Amino acid sequence: MNYWLVKCEYDECTFDELKTRPQQTGRWRGVRNYQARNFIRDVMQKGDLAFFYQSNCAEPGSSGVVKVVKAGYPDPSQFDPEHKYYDEKSTKDEPRWFTFDVKQHKAFKSFVHLKDLKNNNDLKDMKVVQRGQRLSIQPVTPEEFEIVCEMGGI
DNA sequence: GCCAACGTTGGC
DNA sequence: GCCAACGTTGGC
């Protein structure tokens, strides 16, 4: 059982929007970074929990926790020439990119702002609060996970 | 919209 | 294998 922070641009999908998807499930899209890919392919498991973090917007932060309902499978978009995330160098025998599916697990009672994470000294080692940190799939320790859940009121 | 920080690419 | 140039991320 692992804990994560998964980043999504606000424009792409919000935590609430997950509920409107078929089976209330969203496929994570377009991870094209090797470090993040390795986490998805090699470490992430079905049943893991993750903070859904929204970036690139007026209020960066997290609305709640999602659960990994399908883990580490090849991202179909890499094989589709029409797709934005097509990768001509990837093959079905040796896929280069992986993805996973998530469902809402628990919504926070109150939104946890990036600012709040930064102001909490117990979270100073979290990747997300560190300067210039761009990794979109970040491991989180059980301690950090619990602290952030408390901050969100769950 | 700015710009710092980072990852990737490609010439050598 | 180095490293400059470039593109992207993402907070502000």
A136 Cβ neighbours under 8 A, 6+ residues apart: A6, A7, A31, A33, A36
Q: Work out if A116's Cβ lies within 7 angstroms of strand C.
A: no
pLDDT (tens digit, 9 = 90+) per residue, A16-43? 999 999 989 999 988 999 999 999 999 9
Which nucleotide lies closest to A87 by the C1' atom and the CA atom?
Answer: B8
- Protein-covered nucleotides of chain B (CB closer than 7 Å) are 4-8
Which pLDDT band holds residue A47 (cuts at 50, 70, 90)? very high
Q: Work out if A127's Cβ lies within 7 angstroms of strand C.
A: no
Bridge partners (DSSP) listed for residue A147:
none
Percentage of the residues of chain A whose pLDDT score is greater than 70: 100
β-pairing, A49-55 vs A3-9, is parallel
Report pTM.
Answer: 0.92
The domain total for chain A is 1
Supply the CATH number for residue A145's domain: 3.10.590.10
Distance between CA atoms of residues A106 and A149, nearest Å: 10
State which amino acid sits at residue A113.
Answer: H
A88 Cβ neighbours under 8 A, 6+ residues apart: A81
Distance between CA atoms of residues A43 and A91, nearest Å: 22
Residue with tokens 């946890």: A112
For residue A61, the enclosing domain spans 3-152
CA angle A63, A97, A72 (to 5 degrees): 60
pLDDT at res. A91: 87
Gap from A95 CA to C10 C1', Å:
28
